[in-house]
Structure 1
Amino acid sequence: MPGMTGYEQARPANPLWRRLLRQWRRWRGGVMAKTHTVQIVERDGQRFKRVGFESVEEADRVAACLRELVALDRFPRLLAATGSTLEVAYVAGPLARRGRASDHQAVADFFADLYCAQPLRAVSAADTAMAQTLASDLAILAKAGLIDARAAERLDGLANQWQPELVWLGHEYIDPIARNFVIRDGRAMAIDIEALWRDQPLGQGLAKAALRWLEQPVDAVLREVGERAGIELAPQYPWVQLCFTAAYFRQKLAQKKSGHIRIEALTALGRNQDSEP
């Protein structure tokens, strides 16, 4: 960090048991989603986080996102960028908890702020990677026996019905599990900077949060975005949710994380409603 020259102490950000679990999954042949390193560093009486990426390009991507969203004050402040390493401010505070209702509201507010406080652009839904990989994602799930051919065909047809002509793209926080948020003064701060991506179909982060733990109604968040920013995300959300869920379960299958696959969350989509989103 600029202006710091003293002795530093660094320790891994993740606990030993989590690091050992990742090593075990790698030994079993699982595909690792995260290959970066994260350290908590103390130097000259100050604490910050150091994140090492696999490439300079990946570090540059995250650094650019942090700079573009600095006014939002929902992510750690970027302190330094050197090659494939970023240093960001340490965000102190308790992690979000599933059992604390106020944390669910804080994370819902986070997504409303994120979707409202950035310039968005509309593109053809058919041209997105999400649209182009859905069929293969469903085929992989079917080959693994998680869904049958009839379910795969129904979901593919549902996606065709739900796919909007245009989708809104913007910055998205794609790994919004509870431990990736710190609650500070009632506000959710996203601390997993590697999960910040630009030019993503909006709604993926919200869909993952709802799938994994968030109990706050998604419709309320989408409605707030429409009221505050004049951007209607509700028409694209069912399609984004379907495509995301299929891709997410395919990823967990490759990572050998079967405990994260709740296939009924995918197969139930569209069951209790009209085919129109």
Structure 2
Amino acid sequence: MAASNWTTPHPSTFILPGILGLEAANVWISIPFCSVYIPSLLGNGLLLAVIKTEPSLHEPMYLFLSLLVLADLVISTTTLPKTLCIFWFRDQAIHTNACLAQIYLIHSISTMESGLMLAMAFNRYVAICNPLQHSAILTSQAIAKIGLSVVMRGVLLLGPHPFLLQWLPYCRTNVISHTYCEFMALVKLACVDTTVMTAYSLVVAFFTGGLDLLLIVLSYVMILWATFRLPSKEAQRKSLSTCSSHICVMLVFYTPAFLDS
């Protein structure tokens, strides 16, 4: 289906042209995508297997990390196979239901990832600022409740998105200038006032990713405050080293999110 055949405000398919202006280089652009995706599948799968089989890793930080890895696998598998089909086979059409499902999975699981990183920051805060109570506070039941609340937050808050998009009339074009379906990209194609819908999306984004980031920053301020009050330099170094991997994960997650916004 091409954009020139546009006849209905409720299309059965949308068009994903890929990276505009670089269509001739699609095959070359696909190389870094593919070279990242396949090792990511293998590496994350191996990491999950190691965490599952090694009893010493059945700790809060690694359990949260395994949930984060699962979320990353779902998001990458939701977007990259279709992106590679666009680059390799010029398969630019995506069914409307598949597009809406992609939007829901991307946004809901991104929200879950943000919540998991907040949970990891809370785990570091308890481990450093209240180490004697760490095992008593973060029990298996507490971890399960935190994980369930993170998942349910993403499922419920982002649940209205595909339904809101399905009701919109798209009388301008069915071409989404992207390599994957995205909420605001579809909103911009609608030919009705979408102020309320946009406001809802922004509010949800603030009370999930935005609030999570503020709480993570606050937790690390308190961690640094507690760390630099430790009596020895060695104790300070060990405390800070336990947080370095989590900080790297946060930078990898939040930096692209800000650049894409």
Give the structure-2-normalised TM-score: 0.27
- Structure label with greater radius of gyration: 2
> Which protein has greater RCO, CA pairs closer than 8 Å, 6+ apart?
2
Normalized per residue, the structure richer in helix is 2
